[in-house]
Every structure is written in C-alpha cells, then in structure tokens.
C-alpha cells in the first residue's frame, strides 16, 4: 500500500509508520509533520520505503503540498492517515479567537484539505481514509471545549465523506483514542497519582498505548475492513462505558417497588 501519514514524527502517527513498515508487503509511506527532526528520525529507521514532507497543517495549502510530495515518492495513494492534532485548554469563556482558529485549522480543516487533495488518487486506487478523532468528540471534556468540539466536527466530516465518496469506492473512517500514553500526554501521565486516577476509570485497567490505536488504524486501512465505511472505532479500554460516578454497588437510592 502507498500511505500518507500526518503527525508521523511522534506518538500514534509514528506507531502507524513503524508498524506498517514491520508488516509483510512492500508498503511505501509519505510521512509528514511540522517537526522535521522527529520526522527524519522515524523515516531514517524505516529506510527508503519512507519519504518525508515537512508541512504545517494550519496552512491552507497543506493538502496540495502533502499530496504532491506523496505522488513524487509513490506515484499514487492507497490510503491516508490524517492523524495530527493539537490539544489546548481553558474554560471556553477565557478562550480567544486565535486559538479557536488554530485548533479548528489543525484538528478539523486540515483533514478536509488533505482529503480534497487526495480524492482523485484515492478514487483511482479505491483507497481508504482514516482520521484520528478522540473520545472527547463524543464526551464533553472539562477545559477542552475547543478540542472536543473540533474533534466532534471531524467525526461528522468523515461520516459525510463516507457518504459522498462511497460511490467512488473510497472508505472513510475514524478512530477515537481514549487516554493514551504518548508525547502529547506524557507530562500528565508521568505523575503517578494522576495516572492511577485515570487508570481506575478504565475497565481494562491501563492507559492505551500508541500501538493500540495504530492497530485500529491499520485495520481500517486494510482490505479486512473492505466493507466498513463511516464508522468510528473507540480505542479507550472501555472508559466511555464507565463515566457514571463510582458509587459502589448502587446509587444509594431505594429500589422502586
């Protein structure tokens, strides 16, 4: 497969690139990120199958730039992993227009720009598009109002693309990580108390790792997901089923008679 991966210098994007490189099959990759140094390290370890493109997803021409680099390296595109994202927070009442525009540009608009630029090439290959959303897309998240709403918009954007591009044979899906240990969240989860508190909310009892999310992305890219489009795979260790307050065996209310 010939795959474009955004946010490939770190965390989940990096895991997708490394796991794809380790799979059987002569996969080719165009790895992109704004972090050129990190990108060079990941691509260097993979070898000639991976080319790099340093690009900032907040710019309006990012889709064209990235797809042009992909065509130069691979001659076509079978899959796109639109994974890069940023997190920033404060109560909504304290947020600024600049931050709103920046978060939505990177977390939502860039995926549309990349999809638009890749469309003719994905139609030619009857390929797959996978975006990384978040559990926060469906769960309001204290202090992360722009982040969660930008990811909610991303979920619907991909469902909409699935509808519009089904007739072209292009599958479009999302994965939604729950709490996952990556460079994005490392500082928070290296605090033992905070990590224990979070893990206590996860039925499987541990944070996700980048590879857990990458597994779901690789599945959605692969022919094994050949009849799946317009869905979201939650990779959250079951946490979204465990958001009612933990009150022991019951709520303290008397049973109705």
Q: Using CB under 6 A, which of 121, 177, 198, 221 touches ligand NAD?
A: 177
Q: Is 149 in the site for ligand NAD (CB under 6 A)?
A: no
Tell me if 11 contacts ligand NAD by CB under 6 A: yes
84 forms part of the interface with ligand NAD (CB under 6 A)? yes
Q: Would you count residue 83 as binding ligand NAD (CB under 6 A)?
A: yes
As to burial, measured by CB atoms within 10 angstroms (0-12 exposed, 13-18 middle, 19+ buried), residue 226 is exposed
Told to check if 43 binds ligand NAD by CB under 6 A, we report no
Nearer to ligand NAD, 50 or 210 (CB): 210
Q: Are 28 and 52 in contact (CB under 8 A)?
A: no
Residue 106 binds ligand NAD, judged by CB under 6 A: yes
* 128-132 and 79-82 beta bridge pairing: parallel
Is 147 considered catalytic here? yes
Q: Pick the catalytic residue from 104, 147, 181, 189.
A: 147
How is residue 228 annotated by DSSP?
Answer: -
Taking every pair of Cα atoms in the chain, the longest distance, rounded to a whole number of angstroms, is 71
Among 41, 58, 141, 240, binds ligand NAD (CB under 6 A): 58
Tokens matching residue 224: 């094994």
Closest to ligand NAD by CB, 28 vs 83, is 83
One character per residue 12-31, x = contact with ligand NAD (rule: CB under 6 A): xx------------------
Burial of 37 (0-12, 13-18, 19+ CB in 10 A): exposed
For 137-160, letters b (16+ CB in 10 Å) and e give bbbebeebbbbbbbbbbbbebbbe
Catalytic residue numbers read 147
């Amino acid at each position: 497969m010939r795959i474009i991966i955004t946010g490939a210098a770190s965390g989940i994007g990096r895991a997708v690139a490394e796991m794809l490189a380790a799979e059987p099959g002569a996969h080719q990759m165009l790895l992109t990120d704004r972090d050129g140094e990190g990108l060079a390290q990941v691509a260097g370890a993979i070898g000639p199958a991976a080319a790099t493109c340093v690009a900032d997803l907040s710019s309006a021409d990012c889709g064209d730039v990235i797809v042009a680099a992909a065509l130069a390296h691979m001659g076509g595109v079978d899959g796109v992993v639109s994974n890069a994202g940023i997190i920033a927070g404060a109560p909504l009442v304290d947020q600024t227009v600049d931050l709103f525009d920046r978060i939505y540009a990177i977390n939502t608009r860039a995926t549309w720009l990349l999809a638009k630029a890749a469309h003719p090439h994905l139609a030619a290959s009857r390929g797959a598009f996978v975006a990384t959303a978040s559990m926060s897309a469906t769960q309001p998240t204290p202090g992360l109002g722009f982040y969660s709403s930008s990811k909610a918009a991303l979920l619907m954007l991909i469902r909409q693309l699935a509808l519009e591009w089904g007739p072209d044979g292009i599958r479009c899906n999302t994965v939604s990580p729950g709490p996952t240990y990556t460079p994005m969240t490392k500082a928070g989860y290296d605090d033992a108390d905070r990590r224990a508190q979070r893990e206590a909310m996860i039925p499987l009892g541990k944070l996700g790792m980048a590879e857990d999310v990458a597994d779901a992305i690789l599945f959605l890219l692969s022919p094994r997901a050949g009849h799946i489009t317009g869905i979201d795979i939650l990779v959250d260790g079951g946490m979204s089923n465990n958001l009612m307050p933990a009150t022991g065996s019951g709520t303290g209310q008397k049973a109705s008679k």
